[in-house]
Amino acid sequence: VIDTCARLYIVLLLAAAACTSACTSVEPWQRGNLAKPQMTDTDPLQTSAREHVYRSREGLAGGASAQGGGCGCY
Amino acid sequence: VRTCDLLLKSRHPQLPDKKPLVRLVEDAIGALQSALLRSRAARAKRSVAIASSGASAPLRALTLAAMALPGMAYAAETEDAQIQYGHYSEGGRNYWPGPKGTVQQPDPLRVDSLQLGLGVRLTDRNKLALHFAQDTWSGATPILSAPEAFLTVSGASAYPASDSRVNRALVPYGVGPTGTRVPQPTVWNVMTAASAETRRQADATFTHEWDNAALSIGGGFSNEPDFRSYFGQASGRWDFNRKLTSVNAGASYTSSNVDANLGAPVDWIDYGKYANALSGPSVVGSVQNGGVVQHFVGTRSEWAANLGLTQVLGRNTTASLGFAYAHSAGFLENPYKLVLLAFADPNTPPFLFNGLLQTRLFSVAESRPDTRNQWTVSTKLSHYLDFVDAAVHAKLDYAQDDWGIRAGTAELDWSQGFGRGWLLTPRVRYYTQSSADFYQPYFIWAQRAPVNASGKLNFDRVPAQYYSSDYRLAGYGAVSAGMSLTKRFARGIDVQAGFEYYEQSGRFKYGGGGVDTFADFHSWLFNVGLALDLTQSSPVPDEMREYHADVQPDEHAGHGQHDDHASHAGMLAPAGVMSAHMMDKPGDLMVGYRFMVSHQSGRMLHGSDPAGDDAIAAYGCGAIQCTFAPSTMAMHMHMLDLMYAVSSNINVMAMLQLSDMEMTMRPLPGTIGGGGGAHDHSAHPSHNTGGVGDTSVSALLKLFSTSTHEVHAGLGVSIPTGAVNEKMSNGDFMDYGMQLGSGTWDLLPSLTYTGFYRRLFWGAQASGTYRLQSNNQSGYALGDVVQSTAWGGLQLAQWLAGTVRAIYTRQGAIRGQYNGPQTIVSPADVPANYGGRYWDVGIGLSAALPGRAGNRIGFEWLQPVRDDVNGYQLERNGTAWLNLNFVF
C-alpha cells in the first residue's frame, strides 16, 4: 500500500518538476486548445449519474466528498 | 499652452486672437457641464419613474419570497439550465433457484432518475447554482449469501435453514436429490424484493469570484423514506502563476438519520444484537395498522476534506493531483443486509450424522465498526491532440480505509470532436478493491453455538465483533465501458445522450483472490439530457423597447403587450394550463419545465358526500368486503416541454414526463384489515411507484388572431410510454391509480381563446383526453376526460401578473379490469371507483425572467371546491403547478 502511494507520489512530483520549466511558455493566447469543450467534462450530468452508481455499488468509490447521494443501500 | 497657442495660431490663422486653445478647453468643459446637467435631469426623471414603481416594490419582494426561490432576484442574469433523465437497470445476479427450481425469479433492480440544474448570476461576481435530483428505484437486491447446503425453500422464496451439516473441514453438506447428504458448498444469493421508493435531493451552492480566486459555500438535503441527510460544504480555488496553476481545497460535513422499515418481525432473522440498544444503531418495534413493525434506527456523520492542484503543463496539456480524507462515524451498517453465522459443533458424536458435524445457523443483522477513515489520492492528465481534434483524459485514483479495503481506479476517456458541434466521448473504466477485514460470504466456526437459556444467540459470545456479507465490502473488480454523445445546436442548446455497461466480478480483482461468482452482476445506465445556455435566450432588438418603457411610467400601462401579438396574453396564462399560448416568430424554440404536485387525504367520499367506514367496507369493493381504505395519496410529476414555431400559425410541441406516487392505507375497523397484523398490508403502510410517464406530441394551429384576441386549436397524441404493470412485491397489480401511464394511445384535442385589454387579460380553454383503445396491455382503459377552464388576470407590474381561474373536469370510470393477479382490499382496487366530476378554483402568479419576452416563471395553486366522485374515493386537497419557460 505504502509502496503504491509512494510510487504515485514520485511520478507526480517528477511531473510537477517537469512542468515548472515547460509551462512558463504557455501564454494566454496559446491556451485555445485548453479551452476546447473536449478538454472539459462534456456531459457533467452523466458523470454525476455514473458517480452515483459507483458510490452505491463500490466500497471506496466516490472519494471523500459530501455531495449528498443518500443511502444507496438498496 | 502658450507654445501650443502659437503653433495653433500659425497653422490656423482663422482662429480668434486670444488664446484659442484655452477657449477650446473652455468650450469642451462647457459642453461637458451641460451634458452632465442633462444627464442629471434625466436621472431625476428616472428617479420619478422608480418612485412611482416603488409602490410595487414590497409586493415584488413578497412575491419573490412567496415563490420560494432565493436568489431569483429580478435583476438576476440566468446563465444555464440542465435537465437529465437516467435509467439504471441491473442483471445477472445469481440467485438460488431451489432444488426444484421453484424459487421465483426476482425482478432486477431498476432506477429512474431525474436531475435538474439552474445556474444564476446574481451579480457580476456572485453566482448561485441550484440542483435537484430524484431517483425512484424498485426491484430485488441480495439480502444475504449462503452455501446451498444452508438454504431451504418455502413456497416461492428461499430462506436460510436453522440447522445443517458440515464435515470436519467445515465443507457444507446438504440434502442431495437422492435424500442423502452431499457436499453443497456453492454460495448463492438470497434475494429480497422491495417496492418502489423515491429519494429526493435539493442543494444550492453560492460562489463568489475574484479575478484569481473563488470561494463557494453550499448545502442541501437528501430525503428518502429510510434515510435522510443534510450536508454542507465550503471550498475555495486560487489561481496563480499567471493562471497556470490553481490550488483548490474544501471541507464538507454530512449528517444522516437512518430509519429503515424492516417490516413485521419474522422468526428466521435475529436482530438481537441491536434490539432496543441503548446507544448506537437500534432495532425498535412500533405498532402500525394493528401489527408490530420493526425499524432499524440510528445516526451517521461524516467529515471530509480535500486538497488539489491543477497545473497547465503546456499549450495542450493539463494535470491535476488531489488528496482527500473522510471520517465517518455512527450507523455505518447497511440496515438491509443480513449475515449467516454458522456454528459447527465439533463434539457431534461421529455415529450420529455419519461423521458430519451438526451446524446451527443464525441469520443476523450485519455488524461494522462505528468509525471509518478513508484516504484518497487522485490524479488526472488531459491532453489535446491537435491532428485529430480530440482530447484524451487519463485518471488514476488510489484509496484505502481502515477497514482493510484498498481500491484503485483507472479511467480513460477519448473526447472526439466532429465539427458542427458534435462531440463523442467513449470511455473505459476499471475498478478493483480488496475485501474488508470483516467481509465473508458467510461465517462459520467450529464451536458450539453460543446460545442463552432461551435458545437465542448470545451476541457477546459470538467469536467475531464485526461481520458483513455485503458484496460492496468483498474483493472484486469492475469493468465498464460507455460513451457520451453531445450535439451543440445554435442558440446555446446542448443535447446529450450516453450509456454505460458495467460488470462487477471477483474474477476481475487485481491480483486475484476475489469473491466467488455468486456476487457477480452487471448493469446498464442510459441517460439523455438537455443543457441550455440561458445567456443565449437574450432579447432581440424590437423587444428592447419594453425595457426602455421603464422610464416613462405614464405610457407603460399595458405596455407589455403592444410590442407583441395577442399571443402575449396567452403567455401570461396560469401555470396549470397546457397549450395556452403560441409563439409568433418562426424558428423560435421554447424549452419549459413544469412541476406538478397533487395531494389527497382526509375524508372518503361517495358521490359528493362523506362516506362512513362501515359503508366503505360493505360497498366500496363491490361484492367483496373492503378491509382497507386509502388515507393519503401524493403525486409528483416533472415535465419537460418543448415547443417549436414552424410558422406564426403552426407550433409543434412535445412533452416528456417523469412521475412518482405514494399511497398510504389505513385498516377499516371491524374487518380483518383492522383485526391484526395478519394481512400483507400491515407491513406495507405505503405503496410507491415512480418512473417515466406518457409522452405527448401535439400541434397548435392559429385559427383567428387580431391585435387583442386569439383563438387556436390543438391536436395531440399521447404515446403510452408509462408503465401500467406496476406490481407489489408479491406479484399482485398495484391499484389503478398507482400506474404511471394510461397504457393506451390517447387523443388530446384542445381549443383555446386568449385576449387582453390594457393591463387586463383573460382566456378560456376546452380540452379533452380520448382513449383510442378499449384496453391497455394490463386489460383496462382509463376513462375519457373533458376539461373546461376560464381565467382572468391583471398585470400587477411590468414584470408580474396575477390570475384567477375556474376549472370543471369530468372523467369517466375505468373500463375493463386487470388481466392478472390482484388482491382487492380497498376501493382504489376497483375500476368503478375512478373518475367523477370535479370543480376547482385556481390562483396564480407569474413573473418575467430576464431575456426574451417568453422567459417566465409561473406558479398556480388549484383549490378543489366540489367533488362528485364515481363510487368511493379519497377527497382531494389541491394541486400546485410550477412552470419555468425559456425562449431561444
pLDDT at B728: 81
Minimal-distance CA residue of chain A relative to B240: A24
Q: What is the DSSP string of B350-381?
A: TTTTTTPEEEEEEEEE-B--SEEEEEEEEEEE
B105-133 burial: b if 16+ Cβ within 10 Å, else e:
ebebbbbbbbbbbbbbbbeeeebbbbbbb
The 3-state DSSP class for residue B59 equals helix
Secondary structure letter of residue B813 according to DSSP: P
Residue B869 contacts residue B836 (beta carbons within 8 Å): yes
CB of A2 less than 8 A from some CB of B: no
Beta carbons of B433 and A64 less than 8 Å apart:
no
- Residue B86: list chain A partners with CB under 8 A: 46, 49
Collapse the DSSP code of B519 into the 3-class scheme (helix H, G, I; strand E, B; otherwise coil) and give the result: helix
Q: Facing residues of B191 across strands?
A: B142
Q: Is B5 helix (H, G, I), strand (E, B) or coil?
A: helix
CA B466: distance to chain centroid? 35
Helix axes B20-54, B2-11, angle to 10 degrees: 100
Q: How far is CA B447 from the centre of its chain?
A: 49
Decide: helix, strand or coil at residue B408: strand
Inter-chain contact B376–A63, Cβ cutoff 8 Å?
yes
- ipTM score above 0.85: no
Residue pointed to by grid coordinates 383510442: B772
A23–B312 CB contact, under 8 Å:
yes
For position B675, what pLDDT does the model report? 45
Structure-block grid coordinates of residue B517: 461468482
| Contact at CB, A68 and B498, closer than 8 angstroms | no
Q: What's the pLDDT score for residue B522?
A: 94
pLDDT of residue A15: 66
The pLDDT, as a whole number, for residue A4 is: 65
From B656, B655, B721, B736, select the one nearest B689 (Cα to Cα). Answer: B736
**Which segments of B12-149 does DSSP mark as H helices, in order?**
20-54, 57-66
Q: How many Å apart are CA B379 and CA B396, to the nearest integer?
A: 5
Residue B1: other Cβ atoms inside 10 A: 10
Phi, psi of A15 (to 5 degrees): -60, -45
Q: Which residues contact B205 (CB under 8 A, 6 or more apart)?
A: B128, B129, B131, B216, B217, B218, B233
C-alpha cell at B128: 448561485
At residue B324, the pLDDT reads 92
CB-based contact, B235 to chain A, within 8 Å? no
> Which residues fall within 8 angstroms of residue B730, CB to CB, at 6 or more apart?
B680
* Per-residue model confidence (pLDDT) at position B681: 39
Separation between Cα atoms, residue A45 and residue B407, nearest integer Å: 25
Q: Which residues of chain B have pLDDT under 70?
A: 1-78, 289-290, 538-569, 673-685
Cell readout for A54 is: 459507483
Q: Pick the closest to residue B311 from A15, A36, A42 (CA basis).
A: A15
What residue type is assigned to position B339 of the chain? V
Cα separation, B638 vs B592, whole angstroms: 11
Provide φ and ψ at B243, rounded to 5°.
60, 25
The predicted structure's pLDDT at residue B77 = 39
Chain A residues close to B305, C-beta within 8 Å = 64
- Cα B48 to Cα B38, B51, B57, B228, B797: the distances in Å are 15, 5, 14, 51, 16
Note the maximum CA span of chain A. 52
- Which residues, in sequence order, are CB contacts of A32 under 8 Å at separation 6+? none
Spell out which residues of chain B touch residue A69, defining contact as CB-CB under 8 Å: 201, 222
Residues 6+ apart with CB under 8 A from B305: A64, B249, B250, B251, B252, B324, B325, B326
Residue A29 has pLDDT above 50, yes or no: yes
Q: Does A22 touch chain B (CB under 8 A)?
A: yes
pLDDT, one tens digit per residue, over B180-229 is 899 999 999 998 887 788 888 999 999 999 989 999 999 999 988 888 99
> Closest to B252 (Cβ–Cβ): which among A23, A39, A66?
A66
A23·B313 Cβ contact <8 A: yes
Q: Is B555 helix (H, G, I), strand (E, B) or coil?
A: helix
Which of B109, B376, B379 is facing A64, going by the closest CB pair? B376
Chain A residues with beta carbon closer than 8 angstroms to that of B222? 68-70
